[in-house]
Amino acid sequence: MRLSAFFVAAVLISATSFGTVINQIGTYTNWTSTWTSLGGYDADNGVDSTAEFVGNAATPGLYYANNGSYVMFRMRVDQSPYQEDLGTHLVLIDILGNGVSGIDYAFSWDSYSKNNAWHGLEMNVRHTVGSTWGTTDVTDNDGSEGSKLATDINGGGRTTDGYIRTTDNQATANFSDTTFIDFAVAWSYLETYTSLRQNQSWSIQLASINGGTDHSNFNADIGGGANLSDSPTVGWSSPVAVPEPATALLLALGGGLTWLLRLKQRC
């Protein structure tokens, strides 16, 4: 089992304040309450607020969690209360050390069609990697742009592969109130239909699309301080070592033991 210094040093935080929670796709009852910040520092670029990623050191814009059954991601957008979006939000994954740099997979929330049975939460793979983020796009893992086949998230009649929720009224000092968009995708799905695995190392990036499906070029915002005119090598997170379940448990127990020892020393 591998652990990167980044993951061990990352601060585990309870990142949610009270807000209106909307289960956009499915209802998951085991969302984490403790998220690992991956930075996601991004200024307000003045794009459509539902597609605008924002974050800084005090209120990061990108988070990650893994409970052994589901991998989870959280992005912060510059709108609250959250209003219906007609576009796509994407979490991009680069598997490190697999011989190919850049996008390997993406989790996308395609709300453009308003049809979760055909679109909604989708699994994507790299398609066109242009010279800029704005000329880059992804395509469907199942090869079908107009429907959801068995190899897609929640395809083949399944309903527990993945979930999306939004939580608004997340106060910040620099961006006023914001909204979290949370993704949860089952490892059972990923290990069956993709090459994403626990104990890999990933880099993470965010992208959004205004007025289009997940197959469109990225045209709204890019996370990590990157711009649409930048090279698609810009803005990725530092490497994240995805722990196997036993590793995640040991990290949690180790953190709790450290806290107890410090408490004892103060008494």
pLDDT attached to residue 45: 87
Q: Mind listing the pLDDT tens digit for each residue in 45-99? A: 888 889 999 999 999 999 999 999 999 999 999 999 988 778 999 999 999 999 8
**Distance (Å, whole) CA 223 – CA 6:** 19
Residue 244 pLDDT grade (very low, low, confident, very high; cuts 50, 70, 90): low
Q: Is the preceding omega at residue 81 within 30 degrees of 0, hence cis?
A: yes
pLDDT attached to residue 12: 57
Q: Mind listing the pLDDT tens digit for each residue in 149-164? A: 999 999 999 999 999 9
pLDDT attached to residue 19: 85
**Distance (Å, whole) CA 238 – CA 224:** 10
Give backbone dihedrals phi and psi of 247, rounded to 5 degrees, phi first: -65, -45
Percent of the chain exceeding pLDDT 70 equals: 83
From first CA to last CA, the distance across the chain in angstroms is 36
The residue extents of the domains of the chain are 5-266
**Distance (Å, whole) CA 83 – CA 81:** 6
**Distance (Å, whole) CA 184 – CA 69:** 10
pLDDT attached to residue 262: 46
pLDDT attached to residue 48: 85
Residue 4 pLDDT grade (very low, low, confident, very high; cuts 50, 70, 90): very low
What mean pLDDT is reported for the chain? 86
pLDDT attached to residue 13: 57
